[in-house]
Amino acid sequence: MRAIFRFLMRAFLAVTAIAGLMAGSAIYLLVASIPDYSEEFSVTGLSGEVEILRDTSAVPHISGTSEDDIYFALGFVHAQDRLGQLLRKRRASGGLRTQSMQAALPMEVEAALVAYSNGVNAWISEISQGGRGRGAPESLLSRSSIAPWTPSDSLAIAKNFLIGVQENSSAPVWREEVRRQIPTGRPDVPELYGASVGPYLRAWGIPAARTVSGQPIILADIAGPLSLPSQWYLADLRLPSGPVIGATLPGLPMVIVGRSDRLVWGVQSSGLATTTILDANEFGTSGEFLSVLVRLMKADDAVQAMRRLDKFSIPTFRFVIADREILLEWPTTQRQPESPEDFQRLRRDRLAMRQPIFSLDGAVAAQLDTVSEAARTLLPLMAREFWFNDPSLSGMSSDTRVLREQVLARLARWNGDMNRLSPEPLIYWTWVRALQRRVFEDEFPSMEVLWATPNPNLLYAVLSNRDGAAAWCDILPSERLETCQDAVGLALNDALNWITERYGDDPTTWYWGAEHTLVMEWSAIRNVGLVGSLVSLAAPISGGPDTQRASFFDSSASWPFETRRGSNFQAVMSLANANSSRYIIPAGQSGHPLSRFYDNFLLLWTQGEYLTMTTDIAVVSGAAAGVTRLIPSTPAIAQ
């Protein structure tokens, strides 16, 4: 018996030691994959030494003697901080990628892509030598070697990006399915087809005559997935022509939205369905898009930029461009008409009209505005009968009557501000969601997205009886003719029942942020189990789908107001001085969950604060997170 006990004890100790060794090895590999920002690397492919100064937020400020060396270094830092993201994007673009470039690229674009690829491969080479945990935690799950990065990989990512901000190719099919299910006697209103919102880029400018500095201001906003790591990566490229700062897309060597010392630019996506143009032209449109960015980065002023862009045609985008004096749009023709029910644009226009002169802080405040123009428009139509004479109060219990009166009184005083600490946004959106279900579920029982995803545009058309749209309020199986006010009253009951079941019957304890939370999941894995919860981020946020910082609802049955898509980059930019540009992304620069720069922007994002990016390198040098130096080991090989 004693021998058996000794055997079991030794076996237990052996298993424990092996488990401890494996855990220690895993921890070592995970920690080893966090890049050290204060290193020196001897690399092949550079013509001269490059310095990469990471500021206190880990934003790289890259200085070198040639454009190619700067692009090389950007590829290097993208791979350092976002290698897993780069590899996932390459796999996602696999159906688009070819081993050779299919289109004749402008010389400057081809050179930039080659240099960038060499930089990515320089970091991959460092990883292959061992001691860096395969460069990213998710890479530990794969034993295969990492294939070299090629210019075609970058072109495929550019093409995927262009396609991603167009209308989804399945949208026409979905619209036709909706159209087929419209019952006889129901009007076919265009708002029926606008329930889902895809990625977009928006930009608008304030002319010099309306700014405190006397120089134009451009405000840029990009909406898309709210994932970890962020879709965007901030960088400062100190080109021989001058510094360029702003948002880069990992996989590409250009600044998509940003500024130089001489020019500021933002991008407005049209949402046009131009997939066939891209497919027919293979990488041609992608090459033109990248060429436009290169020319913007090096233009001396807005007029020169316009001249340099004349020969290009990018159907997907419109650029807003400004120098120190003038504000322009390119292209200057064929502007697509905007929907009159674009409540986000309507709010933006009202903010611009009510303030004659903008400072940079005033422009930031406008971009962070959380007032919903949809709520200010729709709520009076919903509550008009109940604010003054609520016929449905008779027959209700006294507690229900008191609660309903309290809620309606709050909404009557509310200005539409989607503040995360206020109860009114929760009441409003729950009411809207319940009303949409009341009105459309009987006609479209199998198309849940149409009645479960709040669509204020559609409800506005119905409640204002545009083109007879009030007919949708009648319930088809019922012999009685129901009115929209019937539906509104019943929906208010539904909404209050839903809220009280979750939060009790005291409106002073309700708040929007309890339901409206920003949820960001590490895109390397599914958000399941303990690991998923450890690497994901969540925070209550203000705003909604139509506020200036947009947040689109997930519309799941249990948490219908969570947001996993919305604004994932915002910028306010001017050339007034070196420090007059502010940027913010919701997470951090690093894609490594154990890095302190994985989520370092989250608090700023939720509190409505921005990062000031400066073109003055002396300011950045005062408090750096580290300095990386790339030293050429051999002369650069001609490509």
Q: Flag whether pLDDT at 20 surpasses 50.
A: no
Residue that finishes a domain, picked among 514, 533, 555: 514
C-alpha pair distances (Å), 37 with each of 240, 590, 597, 633: 24, 12, 12, 20
592: three-class secondary structure by DSSP: coil
| All residues at 6 or more sequence positions from 609 whose CB lies less than 8 Å from its CB, including other chains | 584
Q: Flag whether pLDDT at 638 surpasses 80.
A: no
| Residue 550, domain member (yes or no) | no
* Range(s) of the domain holding residue 20: 2-50+65-139+147-161+628-634
On whether both 406 and 360 belong to a single domain, the answer is no
What pLDDT does 587 receive? Answer: 92
| Residue 346, domain member (yes or no) | yes
Assessment of whether the complete model's pTM goes beyond 0.75: yes
Distance CA 398, CA 401 (A): 5
Whether residue 18 contacts residue 38, with contact meaning beta carbons closer than 8 Å, is answered with no
On whether both 396 and 505 belong to a single domain, the answer is yes
Distance CA 214, CA 200 (A): 30
Q: Flag whether pLDDT at 19 surpasses 50.
A: no
| All residues at 6 or more sequence positions from 486 whose CB lies less than 8 Å from its CB, including other chains | 473
Residue 140 pLDDT level (bands cut at 50, 70, 90): low
On whether both 442 and 501 belong to a single domain, the answer is yes
What pLDDT does 391 receive? Answer: 61
On whether both 612 and 485 belong to a single domain, the answer is no
Mean per-residue pLDDT for 524-549? 80
What pLDDT does 26 receive? Answer: 42
Average pLDDT, rounded, for the chain: 86
| Residue 315, domain member (yes or no) | yes
| Residue 177, domain member (yes or no) | no
User: Which of 338-342, 567-571, 600-604 has the least mean pLDDT?
Assistant: 338-342
213-253: per-residue pLDDT in tens? 999 999 999 999 999 999 999 999 999 999 999 999 999 99
Q: Flag whether pLDDT at 99 surpasses 50.
A: no
* 18 vs 458: which has the higher pLDDT: 458
| Residue 544, domain member (yes or no) | no
Number of domains in the chain: 3
On whether both 487 and 586 belong to a single domain, the answer is no
Instruction: Look up the CATH number of the domain holding residue 440.
Output: 1.10.1400.10
Distance CA 436, CA 418 (A): 20
Mean per-residue pLDDT for 263-288? 67
On whether both 364 and 377 belong to a single domain, the answer is no
What pLDDT does 96 receive? Answer: 52
On whether both 211 and 345 belong to a single domain, the answer is yes
What pLDDT does 15 receive? Answer: 47
144-199: per-residue pLDDT in tens? 788 999 999 999 999 889 888 876 655 677 788 888 999 988 999 888 887 556 68
On whether both 271 and 290 belong to a single domain, the answer is yes
Residue 281 pLDDT level (bands cut at 50, 70, 90): very low
Whether residue 152 contacts residue 246, with contact meaning beta carbons closer than 8 Å, is answered with no
On whether both 472 and 588 belong to a single domain, the answer is no
For residue 427, give the nearest of 495, 508, 509 by alpha carbon: 495
| Residue 525, domain member (yes or no) | no
Distance CA 268, CA 275 (A): 17
What pLDDT does 23 receive? Answer: 40
Residue 12 pLDDT level (bands cut at 50, 70, 90): very low
